[in-house]
Amino acid sequence: MTMRHWFLMAVCIAASFGSLTAAELTDAELLKQVPASERALRDQVDHWGLPFSEQLRRFVAARDAWRKTLGPQAPQNFWVGIQHGLEKVPSNKYWFKGRPGNSASLDAARNEYESFQVAVIPDFGKTCNTVTLTASGDLEREAGHGCIARDQITIYRVAYVKTRPVPYPTLYCGPWPDPLLPNGPMKITGSDLGLFWVEVHVPRDASPGRYRGRLSLTVDGTSTLIEVSLRVRAFSLPDRVPFPVTAWVMPKGPSGEAMSAADYRAMLGELLAHGVDPISVGKDFVRLDSNDFRTLDENLEYCLARGLQTFEIPNGGPKPERIKPLVEHLRQKGWLSKAIVYSNQDEPSESQLHERNIPYRRRIQTLYPDLRVYLASQYFPDIADACDIWMTDVSTGRGAAFAATNHGSASLWFYFCHMPLHADYVRPLVQAPNMEIDNEAIEHRLTLWLAWKYQTTGMFIYAGNHEWFAEGVDRSDWQTKGWTLADKPYPFPLAGVHNGNGYLVYPGPTPSVRLKALRDGLEDFGYFMELKRRADATTDATLKREADALLAVSSEVLTDAHYFNRDPLRLLDVRRRMATLIERLEK
């Protein structure tokens, strides 16, 4: 058979396939459309457990729906998928679970950030060499005057981190989306898709109503418009939701080098912009031997201007008397009410609690009655004697519900670290929300719903950037080469490898999908606060009952720390109902 005959046969086969729906094609016919370079995927299930044959059917059905929606204007080399910001989209184009289309709909309060994702998905065997996404203009208000300026729309390129095999259950091991790189062109080849993260900030003075605008997607010279619809609600969120979400940071870069003052503050600012307090700013660069607090003051002023709610100071080691000049300095500056000090034994055993933590707190109380001690620990009957703020992992001891009613005089915070020490679990750690790269996005966001449900007063995450400088890992030029995770197990507590434990932001500074999900959770917490404020003031008994039901945290979303609905659409639906009820209640 000549080359011409092979070509004509291929055209006929392609034409016959094009007239059939995905449901009408056999597995063998579907597989023939997959280039040989991608057929190695044929014996794998996706992160939902779908076999490759069903992945192909979804792929073809979505592509065909996209072409039908756009009609003759639909590009033939690729199709576009839209996904909300509460789903981590795998890089494998056959695994995409969003919807095909060129429109996104958002719902947000004033002074809120809301996001969605645009996936560019090459057709079988196609390569997209240059892909760009830009805002075409402002978002214009439908009724009356007003707009949300184009500079309130931020577009990132989503990058992927190849996770390591780990000792805990995950959906899959491989590329997970996390770093959000500055916007720019991307190239898409093989079985990959290209993913953009689109974030809209609603200004505080935006008029309520419906806004519309467009993004321009260009693939190898072919342009497609993405329609954006935004409903702005008639209430506002504060610049900082008054609930401290905290994390430690270190002034070091990826190779362990000392950060410049500018780079350090840029990292602090990135965390604060997402509602996370880098609390170790209160002890970085503090020299107790010289009592020179000029750098400390500059850093604190920078952070306080950006909404810092609390910070940690050095504990003085075996001599807490050493911090007296610092405490007096903070008192004179009017900042001491925001200061906390970590106890002298991290995550103690019960004997350590009595031998070290309780005596230390008594000493601090004697020396500095207005300075609070905080401590991460499993529950012990005397926990309130050891600290003013007790931080407990939601899986340890007798669980979150027990901690909520047994913290005594200490304030209760939840903390999230994938390796709690000196602690037994009430339920599997991996069944509770956490902060790893290979956790689903809804888990990061639900940490704030847990905080509201159990009425905690703060939250701690290990950590902001502690894993940047992992030993033996080359992270130079990481935005080009990709972020490499450490493959060495933690030497203590003998817990193996954990993907992403110890950082929420990347060098640059560059935010992460996890950081965005956390800020969304904080904004949800702001909805709860505004709903409660208005419900407490209303005289309408019916509205009050509706509000109380939502404020109790609906079981549609969350039952307890280890039993929750993983469907993001349920959470988003409850959140919309909260927004509608807030608007119905009197201000």
Integer Cα distance of 79 and 121 in angstroms? 5
Among 510, 540, 562, residue at a domain's last position: 510
Measuring CA to CA, how many Å separate 449 from each of 228, 335, 339, 536? 28, 29, 26, 20
Among 236, 260, 288, residue at a domain's last position: 236
Helix/strand/coil for 294: helix
User: In the numeric block, which tokens belong to residue 152?
Assistant: 């309130």
215, 183 contact by CB (below 8 A): no
Q: Are residues 270 and 391 in the same domain?
A: yes
In a domain, 92, yes or no: yes
In a domain, 539, yes or no: no
Q: Which residues contact 12 (CB under 8 A, 6 or more apart)?
A: none
In a domain, 574, yes or no: no
- Domain extent for 152: 16-236
Q: Are residues 180 and 296 in the same domain?
A: no
Q: Are residues 270 and 408 in the same domain?
A: yes
Q: H helices then E strands: how many in the chain?
A: 15, 23
35, 56 contact by CB (below 8 A): no
Among 210, 236, 262, residue at a domain's last position: 236
Q: Are residues 227 and 314 in the same domain?
A: no
Q: Are residues 194 and 323 in the same domain?
A: no
Residue type (1 letter), 511: P
Note the pLDDT of residue 20. 58
Strands 372-376 and 194-201: unpaired
Model confidence at 25, pLDDT cuts 50, 70, 90, reads confident
Q: Are residues 257 and 197 in the same domain?
A: no
Counting the structural domains of the chain, the total is 2
- Read off the pLDDT of residues 311-334 as tens digits, 9 standing for 90 and up: 999 999 999 999 999 999 999 999
Query: The domain that contains 130 carries what CATH number?
Result: 2.60.40.10
Note the pLDDT of residue 270. 98
In a domain, 365, yes or no: yes
- Read off the pLDDT of residues 110-121 as tens digits, 9 standing for 90 and up: 999 999 999 999
* pLDDT greater at residue 407 or residue 587: 407
Q: Are residues 304 and 403 in the same domain?
A: yes
Q: Does residue 520 register a pLDDT over 80?
A: yes
Q: Which residues contact 195 (CB under 8 A, 6 or more apart)?
A: 89, 91, 117, 118, 119, 120, 157, 158, 177
Q: Are residues 439 and 402 in the same domain?
A: yes
Strands 372-376 and 389-392: parallel
Q: Are residues 278 and 189 in the same domain?
A: no
Residue type (1 letter), 102: N
In a domain, 586, yes or no: no
Note the pLDDT of residue 587. 66
Q: Are residues 230 and 270 in the same domain?
A: no
Note the pLDDT of residue 8. 35
Can you tell me the mean pLDDT for 472-480?
Answer: 91
286, 317 contact by CB (below 8 A): no
Query: The domain that contains 339 carries what CATH number?
Result: 3.20.20
Average pLDDT, the chain: 94
Q: Are residues 231 and 254 in the same domain?
A: no
Note the pLDDT of residue 405. 97
In a domain, 491, yes or no: yes
Q: Does residue 527 register a pLDDT over 80?
A: yes
In a domain, 567, yes or no: no
In a domain, 535, yes or no: no
Q: Are residues 230 and 260 in the same domain?
A: no
How many angstroms from the chain centroid is the CA of residue 496?
24
